[in-house]
Structure 1
Amino acid sequence: MALVEPVPGAPAAVADVGERAADSVEAADGRTGSDASRERALVVADYHAGIERSLRREGLEVRSRSTQRRERLLRLVEENRVERVIFLGDLGHDIATPVGAEHEELDALFDALTVPVTLVVGNHDGGIGDEFDVEVTPPEGARFGDVGFAHGHTWPSPEVLEAEAVCVGHEHPSVRLEDDVGGTRVERAWLRGPLVAAPFEEYHGHTIDAHGDLSVFPAFNDLSGGTWVNVEGQEFLAPFLPDGCPNAQLYLLDGTRLGQYDHV
């Protein structure tokens, strides 16, 4: 199996996180350890629990889909026989510590999961590590085995960038497709391609062996919108895109390869 393998038809991937060094992250209670174990992990980005509350504040009438999100995630855990779930940032939606419906959704999610959880901290995850017993990474991400993980709202650490495969979220990549009669539709998509070291070296101020492949994950939450990466004038959210992966290829969730993102 490849180090990071998208799950066909789903905004998720299975990653071989190798002999995962536990001392590269900090548990919610502050404990660290040096135990290592080989694991297959389900990786999802931008879950955005409680997003409906925010949408209603903006005037949109949206019923909660928390149960559907949770059940879909649980099915993916069971079907792919993973030992861990890695949330690639923005597990919650509010910037502050989760309260109300968001807190209830996260509480129900953690109660239902039967495998350990790692949260790669994103810009919407304030306070989750304090409220719930989950393992959390630093904002610049962490590396497990040969796979590096970061949310993407800030520059990943050199350790993350020097992994064989690098996974980020935050961008919510989407593609606008047009048919022969002018109709359009927007679909969530993957961006995948080789890293280019130069922009990361400029930011960090030293040489970085960034030689692996970058996977920019689609948002798990289908209400969260996204960057239409093939539409002129759309700007990327991540500070290192597109320069850090200028030849990224676009893939639909079903695996269809559309070609280089700026040529679609």
Structure 2
Amino acid sequence: MAAVEPVPGEPAAVADCGDERALVVADYHAGIETGLRYERGVELRSDADGRRTRLLALVERVEPDRVIVLGDLIHRIGDPGVDERDEVVALLDALDDRGLPLTLVPGNHDGGVAEAYGDRLTVADAGGHRRGDVGFVHGHTWPDRSILGARTLCMGHEHPQVRLEDEVGGGRTEKTWLRGPLRADPFADELGVDPAALSWPDPPPELVVFPAFNDRSGGTWINVEGQSFLAPFLPAALDDAAEAYLLDGTRLGAYRRI
């Protein structure tokens, strides 16, 4: 069994970290409705209660020992505003009631989280976090070298989606998982070392790019010309054999050929 298994039908996975099982989600974006109002003039009722209910339902379903968020716990870049604070406090209260710790691998939106929430959650290093044979990063920066030794690397940031069309031109957008082998050369170039110095395992580590947990955060269409990845190491570090999967487990095949 793979070290990281998606929860069927959900933008979440269970990671086998050796001594514990973690429920992993990416890009929670608490308070996004306030951000959309000021950034784009879009008025939406807050779905804070819905997001928390969905996450707690996953907790009940998979019974993890820990929750890990792969960055962008909050939406506002910098210090969290009132809406972000209230939403995250309610989530932390609910997890505390269940005796579950939360670990945040900080993303580009999480600059003020450590100061805002103190010791109520664990904020990992921005270069990544490792538990057993699984590494966790947000994806907006290059991972630390120690994270590259993991057998599986989980990341968020991209919010991957596919655009699916039928023969009459109708279409829809679906969240996807993106999974495939990692190539060593781009990381070696960034570190200024020979690829052999990275002791890349055989078979190579697997990259698992998570869909966004937040339903209102948009995403990168991985099969639409003109769309580009956000992570500095993608697509160069992702083998062409990488495949996309819908949330229900449908295998779409090599992402470059969808």
The C-alpha deviation readout for 1:170-223, integer Å capped at 9, x for no partner, is: 000000000121101011101100000000110011232342100000000010
Paired residue type of 1:215: V
> TM-score, normalising length from structure 2?
0.93
* Equivalent position of 1:8 in the other structure: 8
Task: Find out whether 1:151 has 2:151 as its counterpart.
Answer: no
- Write the distance in 2 (CA, Å) between the matches of 1:162 and 1:232: 33
Paired residue type of 1:52: E
State the SS of the aligned residue for 2:17. strand
Query: What is the aligned length?
Result: 245
Paired residue type of 1:217: F
- Write the distance in 2 (CA, Å) between the matches of 1:208 and 1:67: 44
State the SS of the aligned residue for 1:14. strand
State the SS of the aligned residue for 2:20. strand
State the SS of the aligned residue for 2:212. coil
* Equivalent position of 2:199 in the other structure: 209
The C-alpha deviation readout for 1:9-53, integer Å capped at 9, x for no partner, is: 0000000112xxxxxxxxxxxxxxxxxxx1100000000000000
Are the counterparts in 2 of residues 15 and 42 from structure 1 also a CA contact under 8 Å? yes
Match of 1:253 among 232, 239, 247: 247
Match of 1:62 among 6, 20, 44: 44
- Identical pairs, percent: 60
Match of 1:50 among 25, 31, 52: 31
Moved runs in structure 1, 4+ residues, more than 3 A?
none
- Gaps in structure 1 of 5+ consecutive residues: 19-37
Are the counterparts in 2 of residues 6 and 13 from structure 1 also a CA contact under 8 Å? yes
* Equivalent position of 2:21 in the other structure: 40
Paired residue type of 2:131: F
Match of 1:117 among 95, 102, 106: 102
Match of 1:243 among 236, 240, 254: 236
Q: Report the Cα offset of residue 6 of structure 1.
A: 0.4
> TM-score, normalising length from structure 1?
0.91
Q: Which has the higher helix share?
A: 2
RMSD: 0.9
- Write the distance in 2 (CA, Å) between the matches of 1:128 and 1:61: 25
Paired residue type of 1:70: R
- Write the distance in 2 (CA, Å) between the matches of 1:221 and 1:4: 20
